[in-house]
Amino acid sequence: MRHSRSDEGTHIHDAVGPKPLKKLATVTLTLAVVAATCVLLVTDVRGRAEVRSTARALASTRNRLEQEQAHLHRTQAQMRTSLSQAQALETSISETQTSLAASNAAISSVDRGLVFDGFDISALNSCLSGVTQALDQVAVGQTSGALSSLGAVSTSCSAARPAAR
């Protein structure tokens, strides 16, 4: 403010000039910069908090991913081991079946030509199966079926007799 003298004394005049406007503009600009700085500071703090939170979540997710990958690798290794064991078992079963088939063929071959003390064992086995079936039929009252069963095995029973010495 500016003081001036007149005839009757000192008066205070409203002084409007370039200096007060400049001060007002400077204060306004300073307040705007301070407000913008505060907004930026709050935004920066929030952003950094979000980044920290996201980084922790990412680290946790990576850790869980590593655990799951390790579990997956263990499971895959177990599956490979199980598959290998299953293939070994299949091979063993196949070999056993082949051996069993060969044994059955050998037994059938021996059974057909087996003669013990003059008896043809294979023919005797067929004869006895037919007689057993006939007895079962008689037990349930099927006499005609029993006679038919005995007739069907009569050739085997005749062949089972010991050869004359």
Q: pLDDT tens digit string along 40-61? A: 999 999 999 999 999 999 999 9
> What digits encode the pLDDT tens for the residues 63-101?
999 999 999 999 999 999 999 999 999 999 999 999 998
Please report the pLDDT score of residue 20 as a whole number.
83
Distances in Å between the Cα of 35 and the Cα atoms of 25, 30, 38, 74, 153 are 15, 8, 5, 58, 117
pLDDT bracket for residue 12 (50, 70, 90): very low
Greatest Cα pair distance in the chain? 180
Q: Lowest mean pLDDT: which of 9-23, 69-83, 137-151?
A: 9-23
d(CA 125, CA 133) in angstroms, rounded, equals: 12
Q: Are 132 and 152 in contact (CB under 8 A)?
A: no
Of these ranges, 14-23, 117-126, 151-160, the one predicted with the greatest mean pLDDT is 151-160
pTM above threshold 0.85: no
pLDDT mean across residues, the chain: 84
Please report the pLDDT score of residue 112 as a whole number.
57
Distances in Å between the Cα of 108 and the Cα atoms of 10, 27, 105, 128, 162 are 147, 118, 5, 17, 20
Our separate counts of H helices and E strands in the chain read: 3, 4
Q: Which amino acid is at 105?
A: A
Backbone torsions φ then ψ of 117, nearest 5 degrees:
50, 40
109 is written with which tokens?
């071959």
Q: Are 145 and 133 in contact (CB under 8 A)?
A: no
Please report the pLDDT score of residue 18 as a whole number.
67
**Which residues lie closer than 8 Å to 6 by C-beta, 6 or more apart?**
none
User: Which has more pLDDT, 161 or 132?
Assistant: 132
Q: Decide: helix, strand or coil at residue 3.
A: strand
Q: Are 157 and 119 in contact (CB under 8 A)?
A: no
Radius of gyration of the chain (CA): 56
- pLDDT cut 70: percent of the chain above it: 81
